[in-house]
Structures are given as C-alpha cells and as structure tokens.
Amino acid sequence: MPELVQISSPVEEGPFEPRIVAFFCNWCTYLAADLAGTSRLKYAPNIRVIRVMCSGRVDPQFILDALAKGADGVLIGGCHPGDCHYQEGNYKAYRRVVVLKRMLHDWGIEEDRFRLEWISAAEGDKVRTVVNDMVEKVRALGPLKLGVPQEEFAEEMA
Amino acid sequence: MSDKPKVAFYWCASCGGCEEAVVDLAEKILDVVGLIDIVLWPVAMDFKRKDIEAMADGSITASFINGAIRTTEQAEMAHLLRRKSQFVLAFGACAQLGGIPGLANFWNREEIFQTVYQETPTTNNPANTRPEQVSHDNGHTLTLPGFYNTVFTLAEVIDVDYYVPGCPPTPKMPADTVTTLLSGKLPPKGTVLAPDQALCEECPRKDSKPDKLLLKEYKRPHQVLIEEDKCLLAQGIICLGPATRAGCEARCIGGNMACTGCFGPTSRVLDYGAKAMSAIASIADSNDEREIEKILAKIPDPMGTFYRYSLPASLIPRKKTEVKANA
Amino acid sequence: MSTTKPTQKSYLYFPGCSLRATGKAYEESMLELFQRLEVPLEELDDWNCCGATSYMAIDEDSAFMLSARNLSLAHQAGGGRDLLAPCAACYLVLRKTQDYAQKYPSIGREVADSLKTAHLPAMNSVKVRHPLEMLYNDVGVEKLRGKVARHWHGGHIACYYGCQTVRPYSEVDKAYNPTRMDELLRAVGIPTVDYSLKTKCCGGSLTGTIHDVGIRLNYVLLKEAVRKGAQAIVTICPLCQFNLDTYQSEISKQTKEHFDIPVFYLTQLLGWAVGGDVDKLGLQRGVSGRKAIKDWMMSHEGVESYV
Amino acid sequence: MSNSNGTVRIGVYICHCGSNIGAVVNCPAVAEYAAGLPHVAVSRDYKYMCSDPGQELIIQDIREHKLDRVVVASCSPLLHEHTFREALAHAGLNSFFLQMVNIREHDSWVHSDHAAATAKAQDLVRAAVRRVVLHKPLERRQVDIDASVLVVGGGIAGIHAALTLANAGKKVYLVEREPSIGGHMAKFDKTFPTMDCAACILTPKMTQVRSHKNITLWTLSEVSQVSGYVGNYEVKVKRWPRYILEDACIGCQECIEACVFKQGKTEDEFNEKLSKRKPIYIPFPQAVPQMVLIDPDNCIQFKSGRCKKTCVEACGERKAIRFDQQEAIETIKVGAIILATGFKTFDAKRIPDYGYGVYPNVYTSLEVERLVNASGPTAGEIVLRDGSTPKAVGIIHCVGSRDERTNRHCSRVCCMYSLKLAHLIKEHTGAEVFNFYIDMRTPGKGFEEFYQQLLNEGVHMVRGRVAEVADWALDPSEEGKLVLRVEDTLAGFARRIPVDMVVLSVGLEPQEDADEVRRLFNISCSPGGFFLERHPKLAPVSTFTDGIFLAGCCQGPKDIPDTVAQAGAAAAEALALIDAGHVEMEPNTAHVIEEECSGCKTCLPMCPYSAITFKEEEHHAWINEVLCKGCGTCVAACPSGSIVQNLFEDEEIYEEIKGVLNYA
C-alpha cells in the first residue's frame, strides 16, 4: 500500500508555504543559482534544489514522485537551447516536458505548478525572478494535496 | 473432500477475460483439476461466500483474484480470501495495476453516477433514482455494495503475495503459476511471475529496429498499412514494448498490433506511464522547440496511451479533486 | 510600392483634441493632402480623449483605460485598418498603452478587464500609425515626387521632429537622427537644412508652467534653425508647432534678436506641393512669418506656377 | 563496504563558513537535528569545514567512529567537493561516499528569514543523509593526455601564453584570424603609465613566436570544430588563403610597389580606416609573419581576371603569389586549450548623443592611438580630417562603460589610456585638453602618480558625464566648434565647452562572435558576455570545461600587465595539466545492466557522443565509459530502467526527493 504523505517541516507551520522541488542542471542553472548567491540576491526560501548533471537526466517519474510526495510545484532548470553542456540534453528534457504537461492537465494539476525554465550560468537574477514568481503563483493555488486516494481509502475501508 | 491443495478463483472489477484465460486451459484444465481442488469459481462453479467463510483460516492454498477494487463487496471478498488463503495472487492487469476499470479514476463517484444514471442519451430517470447501499420497500430491506470514489489495485486493499500480469494473462500462465506454487520453489514475495525484461527481448521483430530510431511523426494504426515483420515503432506506431514486461510471447505483435502495455513495468520502474512516455517522447526527431511541440501533438490522449492499464498503480492514482483555475 | 496596389489602403483617423483646436491647421492640411493623394480616411467613431501627457502624469491607470477604449473602438471599426494619430502626444499614448499592456501583465489585465466590463473587444490587434511614417512607408517618396504640382520658391526649412514621435518607440523614424521629413520635403522640391536640434525639447507644456524655461528652450531651437540658414521650421506635433510659432515675438523682445519665421506642419508643405487648395491648408492660421507664408505660398506666382 | 543494509554510519558536518552561513542559518540546530536522523553516527557544526582542522575533524571521526558515509553542508559543491573527497580518501574511505549540501549560495546568501533558511538547511541535509546511504564506492578513470596545447588568439595574451609553453618544451599551435599577430597592442603608440613604446616591447615577442621551433603559427585561421575531452581534444582549424606561398615570400614588399593600383583605394583596417591600402598589402610594418597578403574583394585579378599582374612580375623567380590558393582545414590533437580571443572596442555610434559618424572631428580613442603612432596614417601628427591642428580637445571617458544603456561594467583601462592620450595630445599639439570623467580610477602601480603628473601638465579635468556633443552655437565663440554640454558636478553647474576635436574613450566589449566561440568550446559567459572563469578568485583562468583556460580580455577588461600575468597563469595551469601525463575523469558515467536490458535501442539516439552501441550478438546496448560524459539523458529515457548513472542513480534521487519533502 502506498505510503501516506506526512508533513512536519518547520516551513509548514503557520500559513500555507508552497514547497517547490527543483531539478537544476549542473552547468547552467545550478551555476546561476550559485551566482544568485554570490550576488546576494534574495528570493523565496520555498525551493529545494536537487542537482543533476543535465536537465536531460530528469526522469518524468521524478516529477510525479515529487508531486505525489507532497511538493506543491516542480521546477526544472536547464541550459538555453543551443547551450547545453551535453549538446542536446535540454532538448530531450523539453520533449518529455511537452507531453508531461498535457498529462498533468488531465490529472487536474494546474499548469503553474510545473515549470521548465532555461537559465544560463549568467542569469542569477532570472533564478530569483523565476523562483519568486513560481512561489507566488503556487501560493495563490494553495496546497496540491495529492494524498487524496490514500486518505479516502483509509476512511472508506474503515 | 480430498486433501488436494485447495484453490479459489474470484473476480472483482474486471471484464471476465481473466476467467477466459483459465478456461482457455481447455483440456489442460483436467490435469490442473487433477492436482487441485477448486473451492471457489463464481464464473463456473456454484460455491457461495458462506462456503468460504465456513473454511478454516489459511486452509486455501492459493486464491487467484482478478479485477480491480471498485466496490465494498469486492473489498470484503478480498479480505475474506486473504484470511482463508496461504497465498493470494493478483491475477491479471486489473488486480495488479487497476487495469481498464482504473481509467475511471479520471472521474469521481458523483460524476460517474451523473453520467450513468442521468446523462446518457438512453437514460430515462426523471425521479433521479440512484443506487443506495440500503433501501426499504414495504417492509423489505435491500442492500447493495458501496461504490468507492476511487478504483484501487488489489495490493492497496490487501496484502498480495504474487502478481500474474496481463490483460488477460496467457493461458499457460495460470497453469505455470499453480505448478510453481506446488513445486515449493517459491520466488520472493511480491514477485511478478513474468520475466523482468522488456517485451523487445522476445519480440520477433526486434532485429528490424534501426539502431538510432527518431520519429518525425507519430502515426495511429489506421493511418498506415502496417508491415508484417517490421518493428512497429520504426513504422511510426506507438508500441510500448520497450517499456512493458515480457512474458506474453508478443502475441499482439504477432497479430500485427502494437503493444499497449498490459504486462506493466519491469521491477526497476516506479511509474509505468511516466517511463513509457519518457521513452516514446524522447525519440521525437527535432531540436526546435516549436517543431518538437508539433511532432508530439500527434500523440493522442497521452494518459489513455501510457496509463491504459496502470493509472491506479501510478504515483498519482487519480485525478486531483477540485481544480483551481490558474492564477 | 503602394502605387502598384490596385486599391489604396484606407485608414482610421484619430483627431484627438489638438487637431480640433490649436492644431486645426494640421487637420485641415492633412485632409487636403490625403485627398490629393487619394488616401481614404475615416474618422474613428465616438473617439475620446487619448489620455495624453498631463493625464498620464497624474493618473496613469485611467490614462491607459482611455487610450485602450480608443484602440478597442478602432478594432471594432473593423477592416483590420490601421489607426492614424497625427498628434504626437496621441500617437505616443496609444502606442504606449499597447506596449505596456503587453510588457506588464498587471496593466494588461486591468486594461482587459475594464474593456470587458465596457463590453468592448480586445485592442492589441490594431496598429497605431503616425502620418510621417505612413506617408514615408505606405505612400512613399516616389509617389509624392510624382504628384508634385507646384514649384517651391520659398526658403530653406529646418525639420523639427520633437521627442514623442521618435522616442522611446522609433517606428516613426530614427530615435536620434530622424531624416524622413527631410527626405519627403526634398522629394517635393523643398530644400531642408541640417538641423542638429531636430529632436531636442520644445519645452512642451513648460511654456505654460515654468514660462522662462519654456521660452529659453524655444529660443535655442529658433536661433539654431536660423543659424543653419533655415527660413522656416516644419513640425509634426501640434504642441511643438504652437510653442515655436506663438512665442517668437516674445522671444524677440527678450533677446533683442528678431525672430519672425513660419512654423509649418509637414502636411501643409506637402499639401501645397501636390497642388492642394491654399485656402484648405490652414496657412492663414500661422502666427509668425506671415509675410513669408504669403510670398512663398499664397502669392499669385507661387500658387499658379505649375510644373 | 557496508551498503543500505542498516549498518551504515554517517558523519554530518555543518559549516558556519565564518558568519557567511552561521549568521543566517542556525548551524548548531541543524547539526543537532541531523544527529537524530537514521544512520547518523556523528553530527557536528564547525566554523570552517574547508580549513585543515575542519578536514582533520572529518578524518579523525572516520577513523574513531568508523564512519563509512560523510555529509558536508557548506558552500557549493562546485567549490569544495574536491577538497572533502580528498579528505575522505586520506582517511582511507572511498571519496564518493561523500554528499555535499549547498547551504551558502543556495541558502544563507539568498534568504534573510533565519527560521526559513534553517528549515531549508535541515531539509537539504536530511535529503543528503538519505541519499548518501545508497552511495557506492567508485574509482576515477585515468586517461592519457596529449602533451600539446592550442592557443586561440595572437594578441599579447596569446603570444605570451604560447611563448611560455613553448619555452617549457611543449608543442604549441597558435591560431590567429587576422593576417598578423599582435592584436590591439600592436596598434598602440605608447603604453601607460610608463610611456614606453608598445612596438618596442611587443615586436621582439612577435618575432620570437615566428622563430620558435615549438610553435606552429597559423594566421588568417579560425577554429571551426572542437571535439573530445580534457587531455584529448581534436580540433579542426580553417585556414583562409593568403594567396601567398608562405615559404616563398621573403617580405620584400616589391609586389606592393608594383601593384597596378598606384595608391591604395581600400580603407586600411589596421589604421582604423584613417588611411588607404592596396589590394596586395602588409597589415603594418612590424607584422608577423612578415609577409604580404591579397584581399580578393579589391584585387582586379580576382574581380575581372584581367589584371596585368605586375605584382607577379615583381615577385619574379620566387613565384610566391598564388591566385589559386584554396581554403584548407587542418586537424590537430591537443591536451589543453587556452582562449585568448581578446575584445572589441565599443561602437561609439551606439550613443548618438556624441555624434560619432555625424561630426567628422569626433574620433574614437583607438583612432587617436593610430594618429599619434609614428607608423600611423599621419606619421604621428595629430591633425583633424581637414589637416588642421586642434587647439582644444575634449576626451570623454566611459563611452560604452558604466552605462545602463550600453554596458554596466567598468572597462578598467579607459581612465588611464585617456590620461595617456591627453598627455600625448598636449605633447604633440600643445592644445588645451579637457578630460570628462565620472570617477577617476587609477588603481595600478604608478597610475595615481601618472594622474598627478597630468594635473601638473595642466590638463583640465571636468567631473561629469557629457550630455551631448553638438555643432549648435549660442554665441560667436562656439561658431564652427564642437560643443560639449556637460554638468560639471564639482563646480555644480551646466557647462558648454567648445572644442575642435572630441575623443571618445570607448570601452571594452566581448568579441562580436564571443557567443559562437563560447559554444564552440563549450564554456559559459558571465553577465555582459565575457567568458566565465571557473571561480573569480580561486580559479580565475580555468573554465567549467576541464582543459580549457582563459587569458586576457576575453575573460574581462584588463590592462597589458594584468593580461600578461594572466596569460602566464593560464600557461602554467595548462602545463600543470599536461605534465601530469594523465587526467582523472569523474566516474559519474552511465552503464547498462546487461541482463536487464531488452535491447529496445531507445537509448542509442539519446547519446550525442555515440557512446552507446548495440551489441548484436548479446542483443543489448553497451556504453563506452571513455566516451560517456555523464549527462544521464539515456538513463531518463531507458523504458525498462536498465541503465544506471553513477552518483545519480534513480534510487539516490528518489531518496533526495523524499528527503527535501520531509517524507517520513
């Protein structure tokens, strides 16, 4: 039986704080996030970055898993078209994302909860704007709460 | 009654195809019956629930349960059989993954009733009568099974020992399964009783697949005259063989039909649909964003295509209730 | 080339307040010119204030709304016609409204909502045009050259473009060194001088508020024009024309330098060159350089000397 | 070694990084929290984990507490992952049992809410702890290194780097796209602040390059393709025809004399178009190679084919002139690459207010460099286009620098070269010279002294950004002059200063094609477009692509001394790399689990390096780990989950996801 989502992070206390899981590619977006740091740009603390070598490494399963396990949104950051450190990884990522977006829609998951952004190593400021913008949009949408079937099961099977 | 091992067959939310798989044993069934006693098989034999309830716990060697869990009755029977059996096998795609009935998870109970009891053109139901679990009619009381909001896999309801995949499983599979169980050489609990490789492994058209296959266009079967011995993907047809567990002897391919994934994923894959989609979408032949979108738009109904048999077993088993518009 | 087109493209016309008041000559001459050039023009029905300068400065939101309504009406008027805004201020505000509505979602949403509540269609499909750019691109230098009906006996002209038509949007002409007025005038045989202050400030409404500064700015413009050998100035903005034209006597008094040169609208000069009726070009409305205007444009020889 | 079988013992270390992290993230709280996580045997917070004692702490714990996994929460892994991996290795633990958590760049530096930042640190640490349990021991692969180096760009940076390497006995290929090496420096007359003659110090180095036995110099050439990886780059170089046989030409230049054009008709690029040259010419007297070239766009023979070819006659027996010379492609193998592609000066036309291209007497600083140069178009005479000598000159600083509308960066050299030009102009013409500056920046050796000297020479310094250069006059004194309108921010009022000549001190910008070059070599750019160094302080000449180094202004504006110093550093880095003889590759490659692979071939087209091949006999895919660069795209595509990427295994990432989501 699937495990139940349990939320106990301090970020969770008080009013709703969106939780965004991000997959940043090692060469562009992760560097951009580092640049945002060295430039001391301030942005919303709601994002948790998982480093991958290339946006092409991001398996759609990762995205669903994050959403299923309590993320309110997922952000993928990769190099701009033509800039991929591995030449084409970001295009592969884009191919999957195009279809995944249609699927998320069918699942009734609002499109603002999933985003693919091209952010180059020079665009520290874009990290800030994208994260802030996404956090605000997701905040407006409220919690995703995909625990439904399990909770319902628990109650209906009782 | 003899002391032959006792076996029960039961069906939940299913089409009956899995029963056919057993019946398809044909004359072989006699050999099977020679080895075992069938204590429950609603589709073919007249045993009742109370017969099972009367049996001692664990006295049934194996229960083959097919179909997904849609109603309270199915859940009750599942629990009952679990109690009475040493082994419970999820038999067929519906029990293992939710199967076709699982696609109902795109709607909730209310929406389904709305359609079935009101909106279909042939429905005439001015009183808006709905099935009720308990209803009274001059002194008589009628009870019906409860209808869950969500379709569940068998494993979500009870503890399952083994899985027999397929929609339906091939006729040799029940027989093989029984033999395995009786042989005493048991695979680890939770095993899917089929090879842990993708279908391409046993696909007769395997060699016809080019090394670097990329698609400019995804085609649907009615758009092409499908060649008999050429890899279907190479012909532009979405074939899920690469993502689907082997063991079906590539029967659909044999019938010149693309694999639609009824055997589910290999043990290494967490979410069948997502993985299958990743593989199929990844071979879109373009590095231009607009063109990529155009090519992939040709994939009809991604959910229906990639989750045809496995929505309830996926990471996100049902449609999110109440959707907010985008801010 | 527009001349090769079977039917001449038609335009919607947004007069705005100026062209019905201080800038009347602008409207008169433009209508006369376009008639000569067979450019069909239809006034935008039920147009309202464009929301320009002062309004924009005091209450930006309302300014956008006002402007949006005009754009929406233009869209409604149909025919996919472009909206012609001769007044530089109108042109800029209309253009800016479209631009900001796209650049800033918040503004875009507000504008869209307000239009919705007014049961008006969206606006962004409409293209906002200015006569200078329209004459240059749609009519074209060659067609004008071909239409010339009068010889110019008058003096050299300084082309003054002002600020609003070329900045920040450089669609009417280049932002810092615009030349299209010069090209058009030279095409119809009217000589222009190289005028380096062509886009510097005319003082705008300062002539009304901080008068001395406004006067000073106009003085610089006039002095340099004369220094470069110009005997008249031509404008494409009612406010520029008004400032440069009306205050010449006052400036002369203050600076002890004598200024009395005509300040035309582009459409007046072009209208005259293509043989427009001199009584319909609003020439009589000019304040300064009356004699020059008379000698150059209204005297018998001038008018009758057909090519 | 233990695995995820419960016997794992993890050490967690939270770094304060002085106050960089500690001031925002409550490090002790995070450490205490981590201590409570499964498998964690030791959990500490410490001021500086990267310091020796910090590393020693880890090593001690590994030995005493029998740790077999380590999590360090500090700065970006791109900074210190290597440091801590080494620490593990010292303690005899496989260095890949480490997981780093970025709580500085990604946390304390970007968040101000302490509680939230601390919570984030806890989430990230928890994720790392869950992940590291699954880490497997890995070994770095060793690859041999080709001992030769490619230097791209033959300016002073490229020249110095090439000579340094060549003198160390390394084979060097120096590729320059112009007909001669020398770059911008060759155009200068004097160099600040010492005022020694640029040619005198540069020319000897240029000739050394030409004669050095270890240097292959290719001018009129451009890198067209780069493949391979650190230590083993394969580079294709496109060589345009010079229409001159290099071995035959002795640089006598008689052909130029003989050309049917009696005098030049083509604008001379080297002289900033201030003079004309013939279609057969030598870029400048000291050019290296000392050799003519033909410009086919203007040569009659190329245009009509009916030229008397007097040049060929003049060349006579040597037969050096070859109209039929073709473009050629050379392919070379090198171990390291140094990019010294330089800069371009700001296009002054982009600021119309200054009237460049409108008023003939508005010049760019580079044009004036040529004017004052003895070998320049006016043989060192500073005269206006009409031949007259200016009586008043205005030099505008920061043109295309420190400007929101153009470039935000300071070009670093303008203040000083403007002073230099002021000095030279005064010296040559005795004109009144006005310098218009925003701030005076003289932060180099002898710079401030030079500034003082200029003030004593009576150069006018006006502090203020010039609003416009115009030709409109308000009073007779301004007639026929260029008037600079400026707010004198020291005097506190607006001024109009009439001059005869205006010099625009244009800033330094990335080369026109910096972006293509960057993609060609697979490196990144900083904001503003200059090439991005691996670390601004600790790796200023390295890039994120191993084996590719930066020298000179392609990395950012700098003066000649800094450029030469950096070129030396780049050469040293390259030496250190290739002298090691071999390089260690990151083991984050992917491999196919053969018995699980069904041979569906989905992965094959995923790999841009053709590292994946299909083994016909075994019927499954196979990854060549030497070619695999570890992007993991094939892993995400493999429909049966039969490909694994080291350090980025599916399970490891799932654990990280659970971890950050605080999933029980």
Give the H or E element holding residue D509. Answer: strand D508-510
pLDDT tens column, B33-80: 788 899 999 988 899 999 999 999 999 999 999 999 999 999 999 999
Return the closest-CA partner of residue A5 out of A141, A157, A150: A150
Q: With an 8 Å CB cutoff and a minimum of 3 pairs, decide whether chains C and D touch.
A: yes
Of the listed ranges C4-13, D48-57, D424-433, D444-453, the least confidently predicted one is C4-13
∠ at Cα C39 (C33, C45), nearest 5°?
100
Q: Does the beta-carbon distance from A71 to D661 stay under 8 Å? A: yes
Interchain proximity B326–A68, CB inside 8 Å: no
The two structure tokens encoding residue C198: 């062509």
Residues of C in contact with D474 (CB under 8 A): 220, 223
Alpha-carbon distance of C301 to D120, in angstroms, equals 87
Quote the number of domains for chain C. 2
Based on the fold, state whether residues D609 and D528 are members of the same structural domain: no
Task: Using the Cα atoms of residue B193, residue B194, residue B195 and residue B196 in order, give the sign of their dihedral.
Answer: negative
Looking at the fold, whether C279 and C164 belong to one and the same domain comes out as yes
Same domain, C181 and C276: yes
Q: pLDDT in tens for each of the 307 residues of chain C?
A: 444 444 568 999 999 999 999 999 999 999 999 999 999 999 999 999 999 877 888 888 899 999 999 999 999 998 889 999 999 999 999 999 999 998 887 888 889 999 999 989 888 789 999 999 999 999 999 999 999 999 999 999 999 999 999 999 999 999 988 999 999 999 999 999 999 899 999 999 999 999 999 999 999 999 999 999 999 999 999 999 999 999 999 999 999 999 999 999 999 999 999 999 999 999 999 999 999 999 999 875 545 444 4
> If 0-12 CB within 10 Å is exposed, 13-18 middle and 19+ buried, where does residue B17 land?
buried
CB-CB contact of D600 with D639 (8 Å)? yes
Asked whether residue D32 falls in the same domain as residue D121, the answer is yes
By the 8 A CB rule, do A52 and D635 touch?
no
| Distance, CA of D147 to CA of D173 (rounded, Å) | 12
Residues C112 and C239 occupy one common structural domain: no
Q: Are residues C115 and C193 in the same domain?
A: no
Residue among D164, D169, D165, D171 at smallest CA distance from D146: D171
Cβ of A10 and D122 within 8 Å? yes
Cβ–Cβ contact D600 with C under 8 A: no
Report if residue D150 sits inside a domain.
Answer: yes
Q: Which two tokens stand for residue D624?
A: 């060549």
Percent of chain B with pLDDT over 70: 97
Residue D6 scores a pLDDT above 80: no
Residue D650 lies in a domain: no
Instruction: Report chain D residues whose CB lies below 8 A from the CB of A135.
Output: none
Residue D2's pLDDT is 42
Inter-chain touch A124–D527, beta carbons under 8 Å: yes
CA distance C180 to C195: 13
Pick from C176, C197, C227: CB nearest D353: C176
Final residue in a domain of this structure, among C129, C159, C178: C129
CB < 8 Å to D596, chain B? 196-197, 266, 268
Residues of A within 8 A of D527 (CB-CB) are 122-124
Name, in order, each residue with C-beta under 8 angstroms of D417's C-beta and a sequence gap of 6 or more.
D192, D365, D369, D505
Nearest neighbour of B289 by CB, restricted to A1, A63, A81? A81
Rounded to the nearest angstrom, the minimum Cα separation between B235 and chain D is 15
Q: In the prediction, which pLDDT does B31 show?
A: 76
- Residues D419 and D455: their CA atoms lie apart, in Å, by 10
Tell me, yes or no, whether D21 and D70 share the same domain: yes
- Asked whether residue C37 is assigned to any structural domain, the reply reads no
Query: Does residue D624 share a domain with residue D601?
Result: yes
Contacts of residue D543, Cβ cutoff 8 Å, sequence gap at least 6: D339, D521, D523, D524, D531, D532, D533, D534, D549, D550
Cβ pair D140, D583 in contact under 8 A: no
Q: Residue B324: pLDDT above 50?
A: no
Structure letter (DSSP) for residue B118: I
Residue C38 lies in a domain: no
Backbone φ and ψ for D259, nearest 5 degrees, come out as -50, 145
Chains that touch D (3 or more CB pairs under 8 A): A, B, C
If one counts the domains in chain D, the total is 5
Residue C69 lies in a domain: yes
Give the Cα-Cα-Cα angle C135, C141, C144 (nearest 5 degrees). 80
- Chains interfacing with C (3 or more CB pairs < 8 Å): D
Cis status of the peptide bond prior to B168, with omega within 30 of 0: yes
Question: What CATH fold (topology level) applies to the domain B6-100+149-183?
Answer: Rossmann fold (3.40.50)
For an interface test with B, the pick among A148, A150, A151, A155 (most B C-beta atoms closer than 10 Å) comes out as A148
Structure tokens at D327: 């473009």
Nearest to D352 among C176, C220, C223 (CB): C176
ipTM: 0.73
Min Cα–Cα distance to chain B from A52, Å: 17
Residue intervals of chain B classified under CATH 3.40.50.700 are 6-100+149-183
Closest CA to B309 of B108, B107, B168: B168
SS (H, E, C) chain C: CHHHCCCCCCEEECCCCHHHCCCHHHHHHHHHHHHHCCCCEEECCCCCCCCCHHHHHHCHHHHHHHHHHHHHHHHHHCCCCCEECCCHHHHHHHHHHHHHHHHCHHHHHHHHHHHHHCCCCCCCCCCEECHHHHHHHHHCHHHHHHHCCECCCCCCEEECCCCCCCCCCCCCCCCCCCCHHHHHHHHCCCCEECCCCCCCCCCHHHHCCCHHHHHHHHHHHHHHHHHCCCCEEEECCHHHHHHHHHCHHHHHHHHCCCCCCCEEEHHHHHHHHCCCCHHHCCHHHCCCCHHHHHHHHHCHHHHHCEC
Q: What is the pLDDT of residues A5-63, one digit of tens each?
A: 333 343 445 789 999 999 999 999 999 999 999 999 999 999 999 999 999 999 999 99
Partners of chain B (3+ Cβ pairs below 8 A) = A, D
- DSSP state letter for B147: E
Q: Does residue B312 have a cis peptide bond before it, meaning omega lies within 30 degrees of 0?
A: no
Enter the DSSP assignment of A40.
Answer: T
Quick one: pLDDT at residue B316? 94
Residue D384, in any domain of the structure: yes
Residue D295 lies in a domain: yes
Q: Report d(CA D465, CA D488) in Å as an integer.
A: 8
- Does the domain at A20-157 match CATH 3.40.50? Answer given as yes
In a domain, D1, yes or no: no
A148's CB contacts (< 8 A; 6+ apart) are: B150, B318, B320, B321
Question: What is the 3 state secondary structure string of D215-274?
Answer: EEEECCEEEEEEEEECCEEEEEEEECCCCECCCCCCCCCHHHHHCCCCCCCEECCCCCCC
CATH number at residue D184: 3.50.50.60
Which of these, D584, D582, D513, D548, lies nearest to D161 by C-alpha position? D548
Q: State how far residue A68 is from chain D, nearest Cα, in angstroms.
A: 10
Of chain B, the percentage scoring pLDDT greater than 90 comes to: 75
Give residue-wise pLDDT tens across range D192-205: 999 999 999 999 99
User: CB D641 to CB B209 under 8 A?
Assistant: no
CATH of the domain at C118: 1.20.1050.140
User: Is there a contact between B196 and B170 (Cβ–Cβ < 8 Å)?
Assistant: no
Residue A22, chain D, CB below 8 Å: the answer is: no
| CA-to-CA separations, D251 to D101, D206, D207, D208, D255, in angstroms, rounded | 62, 15, 14, 17, 9
Q: Whole-angstrom Cα distance, residue A2 to residue A6?
A: 12
A156–chain D nearest CA distance, Å: 24
How many other CB atoms sit within 10 Å of the CB of residue D647?
18
Q: Write out chain D residues lying below 8 Å of C223, CB-based.
A: 474
Beta bridge mates, D12: D43, D71
pLDDT tier at A148, thresholds 50, 70, 90: low
| CB spacing of D596 vs B266 below 8 angstroms | yes
Q: What is the largest CA-CA distance in chain B?
A: 73
CATH number at residue C247: 3.40.50.11810
D605 and B212 within 8 Å at the Cβ level: the answer is yes
Please check whether residues C125 and C205 belong to one and the same domain. no
Q: Are residues C186 and C246 in the same domain?
A: yes
In this structure, the answer to whether residues D127 and D194 fall within a common structural domain is: no
B275 touches chain D (CB under 8 A): yes
Here the CATH number for the domain that contains residue D29 is 3.40.50
Q: What is the pLDDT of residues D293-336, one digit of tens each?
A: 999 999 999 999 999 999 999 998 999 999 999 999 999 999 99
Which amino acid, residue C80? G
CATH number at residue D599: 3.30.70.20
Task: Supply the pTM of this predicted model.
Answer: 0.78
Residues in chain A closer than 8 A to D645 (CB atoms): 53, 57
Q: For residue range A113-130, what is the model confidence (pLDDT) as tens digits?
A: 999 999 999 999 999 999
Q: Give dist(CA D589, CA D563) in Å, integer.
A: 37
Range of the domain at C105: 44-129
Report how far residue D517's alpha carbon sits from residue D520's, in angstroms, rounded to the nearest whole number: 5
Domain carrying residue D266:
254-318
Tokens at D257, concatenated:
């004399």
DSSP conformational letter for D183: T
